[in-house]
Amino acid sequence: MRKSLHFVSWLLVANLSGCAHRFKHEFSIRNTEVFAREPILVRRIGPGCMRSATLIWTSGEHHPLEPPPQYQAIDGRLIFSLEKLGPLNRWKVDPEYRVPERLDVEGRLNMHALVKGGAYWWEPDGTYIRLKVEDDSRECEVMQQ
């Protein structure tokens, strides 16, 4: 029984470290070809609200971003990154007319990491840039009704 418990623990640790290893960070938040403006995180956390958050960004020349950025709770913080880009869009859209894109954050563990440790962008050089986080209480009021 004890050996099987150790094996299960080892499997869990190996699986979790494998997930973190596959989480890649190839593009900088400050790359203007990827982002016209740096992404921000809007969170809705208040009385009567469902805990939720949304990453909002406006794409640069790669419009829209496909696939979108990914996120994961790592070391008690919510970490965002962009691993790869799809083909460059041939249709040049003036940045003034680009519609902001959104990515909803899901999962209790991710929301816990956001509240306790904040939100960061994982840069290609391995550093982290803290994301600007804005609270949206207007949505809380609507949800209470």
Contact residues for 145 (Cβ-Cβ < 8 A; gap 6+)? none
Tell me if 13 is assigned to some domain.
no
Tell me if 11 is assigned to some domain.
no
Interior/surface letters 55-76, b for 16+ CB within 10 angstroms, e for the rest = bebbbbebbebeeebbbbbbee
Strands 77-81 and 101-105: unpaired
Tell me if 9 is assigned to some domain.
no
- How much is the pLDDT for 15? 44
- How much is the pLDDT for 42? 92
Tell me if 5 is assigned to some domain.
no
- How much is the pLDDT for 52? 85
Strands 119-122 and 128-130: antiparallel
- How much is the pLDDT for 20? 44
- Domain count of the fold of the chain: 1
- How much is the pLDDT for 71? 95
CA–CA dist 68, 85 (Å, integer): 8
- For residue 35, what pLDDT band results from cuts at 50, 70 and 90? confident
Indicate whether 9 pLDDT > 50: no
- Which percentage of the chain shows pLDDT scores above 90? 33
Tell me if 17 is assigned to some domain.
no
CA–CA dist 54, 39 (Å, integer): 10
- How much is the pLDDT for 37? 84
**DSSP category for residue 48:** T
Q: What is the pLDDT of residues 87-130, one digit of tens each?
A: 655 556 666 667 788 999 999 999 999 989 999 999 999 999 99
Tell me if 32 is assigned to some domain.
yes
CA dist list (Å): 107 to 50, 78, 86, 123, 128:
12, 11, 26, 23, 22
Range of the domain at 79: 24-144
- For residue 11, what pLDDT band results from cuts at 50, 70 and 90? very low
Tell me if 117 is assigned to some domain.
yes
Tell me if 140 is assigned to some domain.
yes
- How much is the pLDDT for 50? 60
Q: What is the pLDDT of residues 46-99, one digit of tens each?
A: 665 667 899 998 887 766 667 789 999 999 999 999 887 766 555 566 666 677
